[in-house]
Amino acid sequence: MKTTLSTKIIAGIYKGKSIELPPLETTRSSKSILKESFFNVLQYDIIDTIFIEAFGGSGGIGLEAISRGAKHSYFCELDKKSFKVLEKNCKYIDANHTTPILGDSFEVLPKLINNSLRGNPIVVYIDPPFDFRDGMENIYEKSYEMVESFTNEDIFLITFEHKSELSLKEEIGEFLKYKTKKFGNSSLSYYKRVSE
């Protein structure tokens, strides 16, 4: 019998609502403790932001952001199985304030962020796949290049979820790393615009 994996929204207006998780072979879920810590860092700064989740998976981070007061969440996911789950979750939680996009984050997000999203503070959450599948070997280099290509001055925070053994660059384009928090095998590294 096939069991459906799920997790729950931790806080906010949709607290306790379940989110379906994609099959484990296609993606992995961000741990609750890590998610909680991320939103503790943001606190009220999440309100009325545009939230971008690269490598969206189930959409757990962006949907949590909506629950806690973000204005709109955009998700980009390349894997078709994961995208179906993401779409379902967005419709179930809040269809009006979420936009799931099927596509390559490296191609889609710079165009979306630089051309379409202006006038609201933007938070970007980047969670590259840990298992280096075909075509994913240089995923962090490509992620750095993607961040370097962001020209939208409304971005006030970029956060990477990554393997704890990996030390990310101190500076990526216009963004400077100001802290890293470790949660076992996973870590969060936070970047703010250099001029801030």
Nearest Cα neighbor of 64 from 94, 88, 109, 84 is 94
Band (pLDDT 50/70/90 cuts) for residue 26 is very low
| Domain CATH code at residue 45 | 3.40.50.150
What letter does residue 114 receive in the DSSP assignment? I
Q: What is the pLDDT of residue 170?
A: 93
* pLDDT tens-digit readout, 122-174: 999 998 876 545 445 588 889 999 999 999 999 999 999 988 888 899 999 99
Is residue 119, in this structure, part of any structural domain at all? Answer: yes
Structural domain that includes position 54:
6-193
pTM here is 0.89
Is residue 104, in this structure, part of any structural domain at all? Answer: yes
Is residue 1, in this structure, part of any structural domain at all? Answer: no
Q: What is the DSSP string of 155-189?
A: EEEEEEEEETTPPPPSEETTEEEEEEEEETTEEEE
Average pLDDT on 57-61 reads: 89
What is the count of structural domains for the chain?
1
